[in-house]
Amino acid sequence: MTSAQAMPPSPPHMQLDEFSALAQAIEREVGKVIVGQHEVVRSALICILAGRHALLEGVPGLGKTMLIRTLADVLDMNFSRIQFTPDLMPADIVGTDILEETEEGRREFRFQAGPIFANLVLADEINRATPKTQSAMLEAMQEKTVTVAGRRYDLEKPFFVLATQNPLEMEGTYPLPEAQLDRFLFKVNVTFPSVDDLVAILDRTTGVDAPEAQTVANAQQVIQMGELALSTPIPTHVSQYVARLVVATHPDSELSTAMSRQYVRVGSSPRGAQALIIGAKVNALLDGRYNVAYDDVAAVAPSALRHRILLNFEGQAEGISTDSIVDDLLKTVKK
């Protein structure tokens, strides 16, 4: 069901036709390197255009890192990659003060910025680092600042973290703290390619010439696209539907579904509702519409909520997935 056509917002710096042209160019260039995975590419692009963070989960070898590197190539922005390992320390991420000698012969401390100081940060295999190191990302992801030796340093805009993680049942992984998971706008599941897609991957990657993506947008254009997305109006009935969805994830709510009452320990935070609204706005614009509809909410709901719902013991024991909880919510909660 779609909402009534809404009036377009007053243009910040970009019109819908320019937004659509740039978005299509970005997806087209990414598609030159990444075979299939259209939903994964769309979800990552939504997070980037919204200026938020994304967590991509899948077994090694599915192209998660390649996707993020390709997005960095297509978007002409400052890029850095942090390989998370068990011995990675917080200072290796945010930076540290170093003692150096000046031209006058005096010694003084100078801040040496870490790799977090970039527009697009690839946090590769983020759940292979210890919880202490993972927590070093919290301030940067939420406040877009870092604090070292009592001094606060602002991160340049735009700033977003695209992180990859291996499934928790694999060896050498640590679960991300719930507070850190909540900072990711989306958690995107990267699945194994189909037979046809795998054949196409083999054709592209086992020859002499590797496909390359060209730069089609820059940091300022990404900021403008995000401004247009955030200024897109949200119909009242859609925002009310989002609120009911999120409240229904809580087992003790009067709106809760049978599945959430039986299998959920903790429901989504308000950030889940924010993620649904923001994601739906960008999704509508990517489809060439100013009006946000129920279908836009449904399109982003799994990625926005799957990491914000915690299952109870019964749910874990029976192998219930949070995606099945979200699917039940979309079918049950009244529009």
Q: What is the pLDDT of residue 172?
A: 59
Q: What is the pLDDT of residue 278?
A: 93
State how far Cα 247 lies from the chain centre: 22
Contact 12, 302 (CB under 8 A): no
CA angle 20/21/25 to nearest 5° reads: 115
Largest pairwise CA distance in the chain: 73
Q: What is the pLDDT of residue 171?
A: 57
Find the DSSP H helices in 82-235: 91-94, 131-143, 178-181, 195-205, 219-230
Q: What is the pLDDT of residue 2?
A: 44
Q: Name the pairing type of β-strands 151-154 and 145-148.
A: antiparallel
Contact 289, 229 (CB under 8 A): no
Query: Residue 165 is which amino acid?
Result: Q
Supply the pTM of this predicted model.
0.82
Contact 119, 82 (CB under 8 A): no
Q: What is the pLDDT of residue 91?
A: 84
Query: Residue 263 is which amino acid?
Result: Y
CA-CA-CA-CA torsion sign (22, 26, 32, 37)? negative
Among 299, 102, 289, 308, smallest CA distance to 185 is for 308
Q: What is the pLDDT of residue 85?
A: 86
Q: What is the pLDDT of residue 66?
A: 81
CA-CA-CA-CA torsion sign (36, 22, 43, 128)? positive
Among 9, 2, 55, 7, smallest CA distance to 231 is for 9
Per-residue pLDDT of the chain (335 residues; tens, 9 = 90+): 444 444 454 444 678 888 888 888 888 888 888 777 788 888 888 998 888 899 988 877 777 778 888 888 888 888 888 888 888 888 888 877 777 777 777 777 777 777 888 888 888 888 888 877 777 777 788 888 887 777 888 888 888 888 888 776 555 567 777 777 888 999 988 888 788 878 887 877 776 777 777 888 888 888 888 888 888 888 999 999 999 999 999 998 888 888 989 999 988 989 999 999 999 999 999 888 888 889 999 999 999 999 999 998 998 898 889 999 999 999 998 88
Q: Which domains does the chain have, with CATH numbers?
A: 14-230 (3.40.50.300), 232-335 (1.10.8.80)
Query: Residue 278 is which amino acid?
Result: I
Question: What is the C-alpha to C-alpha distance for residues 20 and 2, in angstroms, rounded to an integer?
Answer: 20
**What is the number of alpha carbons within 13 Å of residue 8 lying toward its C-beta?**
13
Question: What is the C-alpha to C-alpha distance for residues 221 and 193, in angstroms, rounded to an integer?
Answer: 32
- Per DSSP, the residues of 231-289 read TS---HHHHHHHHHHHHHTSTTSTT--HHHHHHEEE---HHHHHHHHHHHHHHHHHTT-
Radius of gyration over every alpha carbon of the chain, rounded to an integer in angstroms: 21
